[in-house]
Structures are given as structure tokens and as C-alpha cells.
Amino acid sequence: MRKLASCFVPLLAGILLIPVMWNTAVASDEAIPRPGMVTMVDIGAKKCIPCKMMAPILEELEKKYQDKAAIVFVDVWENPDAGAKYGIKLIPTQIFYNAEGKEVLRHEGFFDKAAIVNELQKLGVE
């Protein structure tokens, strides 16, 4: 338990410093998945701690994969119908779609950058 606590405290300090800005947020009427494009949708809330931890990762990946893959954030508190639409049980949930729009992976909880990049590469995103 001591190791967990020592790792958790620095994470908490970092969480408090993370600005809550998602350029990836979408209007509820935008097409998800994006037609003809590999799409990763992160469904969460701006006040959820694991979601806050993922915010800078999503922003970085959105820039890195611009025009190669769609990285999208949907806030279920701002878009309450999204939970039912995507069958969400907990947040954050990440859903990966291939370029044909077929769901190929669903992950619940925090998902680190390396794991997201790995999944995008499996879908052919360079």
C-alpha cells in the first residue's frame, strides 16, 4: 500500500495543474465516427479526475494525428444523451473505430498515450 500512496500523491499534484481545455470536444450533432477516418472517441467529463489526466494526451494526439485520425472528446455532462448513445458504463471510456466506421476496441478507464498510439497504429495510422 505504501508504494501506491507514494505514486498517487505526485499524480494528484499534477492533476491540480492540468488546465481543463479540450480542443477535441465536439458538438452533439457531429458525425462520430468520422467518415473515412480512423476515429478514437474519449467519452468522459471535464471534472472527472482520470479524464483530466487524459486531457493533455488527447490534445497532443489530436495535433500529432491531424488529418490522419480523428481524436474526439465527448463530455457526458454537457451531452447527457451520449452515455446511452455509446452504451457507456463508466467514464472515461475510449472507443476506437476503423476507417470504415466499425467499432474495433472499447476501453474503460484511464488509457495512457503509448497504449492509444499502439491502437491507432494497429488501425494503420502512421
pLDDT tens across 18-72, in order? Answer: 333 344 444 445 789 999 999 999 999 999 999 999 999 999 999 999 999 999 9
Closest-CA residue to 22 (of 61, 63, 56, 66): 56
pLDDT attached to residue 31? 86
CA distance 91 to 76: 9
Retrieve residue 81's grid coordinates.
Answer: 444523451
Could you list the active site residues? 48, 51
pLDDT attached to residue 105? 98
CA distance 107 to 91: 10
Residues 6 or more apart whose CB falls under 8 angstroms from that of 77 comprise 45, 46, 47
Domains (ranges, CATH) in the chain?
2-122 (3.40.30.10)
Helix (H) or strand (E) holding 86: helix 81-86
